[in-house]
Amino acid sequence: MWYHDLVETGRVPDWLLIAVLRVAQRISARRRDRLTIDQRDGARHALLARLSAAPIALATDAANDQHYQVPTAFFETVLGPRLKYSCCLWPAGVDTLAQAEEAMLTLTCARADLRDGQDVLELGCGWGSLALWLAEHYPHSRITAMSNSATQGEHICRQARQRGLANLTVLTADMLTFGADGAHDGRYDRVVSVEMFEHMKNYALLLQRVAGFLRPGGRLFVHILCHRDTPGEFATDESGDWMARTFFSGGTMPSADLLLHFARDFAIAEQWLVDGRHYARTLRAWLARLDDQRPAVEAIMAAAYGPEQVRRRVAQWRLFFLACAETFAARGGREYLCCHYLFDRREPPPRQRS
């Protein structure tokens, strides 16, 4: 669309972008609000059927290029000191991005029921914020971190060496095939995933495979971004909107209850909702850091993509942060949320004696 090209010139002022984004949010919310029960139910069942017929993930190469093969230096410049590329927590008294990163990491460990001495697998480990935190705070645990990005894996290994962490193993793999050969079955006490499930499709197959990774008594903790009650999908081709084509090809926006439809191998132990404004504030903090260090960001983009791409690449990331912040701040953070789940692995019934 012509207006996407205009925005990517970087010449549209933020006040105008924000005004347009807020109008678009209100229109989208009203459209959802007007849906009848039958329309909502029909759309939900159609989505459940599509997800059940899909592979575990789609467009993994595109998603990897969009987010995870971006130069590490960009994220080191824009994110907080722990490189947590996911929703942070801003309770009263937390005023800095560094504090907000640690607040959410602490909450994640508590809600995941993590204890020292466990074998823990993290799926979709990003730049290692949680994996490195676990290796530091649970020195007798054995942490395995899986990423589909070689760039991320190299960064985490480098950080682990610098910090003298010998209890962390990093694997580079695609969730489409990771563990399909049974090599990880029965090896872990906990599996943890933070903002990876949004890139997945067939949750039934995914959860079935994850259940196999766990020992008896094992638990799965999932942190996802979601809509409160209406799930949706991001297209994988040019028919998708700007967000789908640029940042979330093949992704899913779950509803808060979507995973529960597919968790046949798990029993839900706890579910928590996190106000979407925590993510909005996180995104605005990233945007502020990008703007504060604009010359450094432009130099990184020029080195990675060439000088002719700098304006466009920076504008894309600024719009991504702005658009997501407005989305999760809408309606007081009650429309789009962060959701936490703690699942217990279902144990097979005991064999009947003949």
What is the tens place of the pLDDT at every residue in 106-137?
999 999 999 999 999 999 999 999 999 999 99
- Average confidence (pLDDT) over 47-76: 79
Domain presence at residue 351: no
Domain presence at residue 353: no
pLDDT band at 348 (very low <50, low <70, confident <90, very high): confident
The reported pLDDT for the residue numbered 9 is 76
> Can you say whether the dihedral through the CA atoms of 29, 253, 316, 322 is positive or negative?
positive
Q: Return the CATH number at 192.
A: 3.40.50.150
Domain presence at residue 84: yes
- Average confidence (pLDDT) over 58-79: 74
The reported pLDDT for the residue numbered 60 is 56
Q: Find the distance separating the first CA and the last CA of the chain, reported in whole Å.
A: 68
Q: Residue 284 pLDDT > 90, yes or no?
A: yes
- Average confidence (pLDDT) over 259-271: 97
pLDDT band at 6 (very low <50, low <70, confident <90, very high): confident
Q: In what order do the strands lie in the sheet with 266-274?
A: 168-172, 142-147, 119-123, 188-194, 214-227, 336-345, 266-274
- Provide the percentage of residues in the chain whose pLDDT is more than 70: 92
The reported pLDDT for the residue numbered 245 is 75
Q: Residue 318 pLDDT > 70, yes or no?
A: yes
pLDDT band at 62 (very low <50, low <70, confident <90, very high): low
Q: Residue 67 pLDDT > 60, yes or no?
A: no
Q: Residue 59 pLDDT > 70, yes or no?
A: no
Domain presence at residue 51: yes
pLDDT band at 10 (very low <50, low <70, confident <90, very high): confident
The reported pLDDT for the residue numbered 127 is 95
Please state, rounded to an integer, the average pLDDT across all residues of the chain: 92
pLDDT band at 191 (very low <50, low <70, confident <90, very high): very high
The reported pLDDT for the residue numbered 248 is 77
Domain presence at residue 354: no
Domain that holds residue 249: 2-345
pLDDT band at 38 (very low <50, low <70, confident <90, very high): very high
Domain presence at residue 151: yes
- Choose from 9-23, 227-241, 302-316 the range with maximum mean pLDDT: 302-316
The reported pLDDT for the residue numbered 61 is 59
Domain presence at residue 58: yes
CA distances from 106 to 88, 141, 249 (A): 10, 16, 31
What are the b/e assignments for 37-64, b being 16+ CB within 10 Å?
Answer: eeeeeeebeebbeebeebebbbbbebbb
Look at the chain and report how many structural domains it folds into.
1
Both structure tokens of 348? 């097979």
Q: What is the pTM of this model?
A: 0.92
219, β-bridge pairs = 190, 344
Domain presence at residue 12: yes
SS3 string, 103-152, reads: HHHHHHHHHCCCCCCCEEEEECCCCCHHHHHHHHHCCCCEEEEEECCHHH
